[in-house]
Amino acid sequence: MMDLTMGISPCPNDTFIFHAMIENAIDTRPFAFKPSLLDVQELNRLAFEKRFDITKLSFYAWLKLRDSYEILDSGSALGRGCGPLLVARSKKLDLTTAKVAIPGELTTAFLLLRLWNPDIKNVESARFDAILSGVQTGRYDAGLVIHEGRFVYEDYDCVKIIDLGDWWERKTQMPIPLGCIAVKKQEPIISYKNRVEEILAHSIRYAFKNPEASREFVKTHAREMDEEVLAHHIDLYVNEFTLTLGDSGREAIRRLEEMAACQNII
């Protein structure tokens, strides 16, 4: 067996779709996948060091790393009604001066925030699971929440300023591209791309067919432990685009690239 290093996030959508690969519930020959579970911003950062053979990336990070990584057709997080939210304790907020917590400067969430309102300048990176508590306690005036945060922000006495996924969909009529799985454009790794895609697609189909199989694995790594929230997270972020990008998924990525290029932020 040939070892391949792999970086994924601990978020339920990733652990759900990769469970079968990691736990050997499916045939992964000729590869043995060696996973590291890290926050997405850390994965984005490490990609610039080419740390992993296969890695989860925010699409914004991938746009900056196109010469180094190639997107796999399977494993991406795209969809509708699943975008990042800008939240605060009150809607009466001057965003040009407010201190806004973001889940990382390489996240697609931050790219969308910049596309929506380029006048937001006072930002500070924080772990995605520390943003809501930071807003609640007043450390931040507002926070850009992703993943499970969109389901629980009201529990932290926060109100929604804008749903950036809804903004994107109204502007483009396309699904929102959030994150992808990419492989190094480096021999011999890139030559394994087709087989890795087959294995990942098999792992995703296994997850769809056996949704209970990964439950404990998902719970072990999740930041939010409520089972209803975990199930909602998976239902929202794991969909037909996860199995294959398709024409509409690829077109959404191209549109994101065009919009970012127009504002000179890639």
Q: How far is the C-alpha of 224 from the C-alpha of 234, rounded, in Å? A: 12
What's the one-letter identity of residue 160?
K
Phi, psi at residue 250, to the nearest 5°?
Answer: -65, -35
On the 0-12 / 13-18 / 19+ scale of CB atoms within 10 A, 255 is: middle
Determine if the peptide bond prior to 30 is cis (ω within 30°).
yes
| 19 classed as catalytic | no
Q: How many CB atoms lie within 10 A of CB 93?
A: 16
Q: How far is the C-alpha of 234 from the C-alpha of 199, rounded, in Å? A: 20
DSSP string, 32-51: EEEEEE--HHHHHHHHTTT-
Q: How far is the C-alpha of 33 from the C-alpha of 25, rounded, in Å? A: 12
Spatial CA neighbour of 10 closest among 204, 217, 239: 217
**How many residues in total does the chain contain?**
266
DSSP string, 147-187: TTHHHHGGGGT-EEEEEHHHHHHHHHSSPEEEEEEEEESST
DSSP state letter for 82: -
Annotated catalytic residue, options 19, 147, 202, 233: 147
Give me the active site residues, please: 147
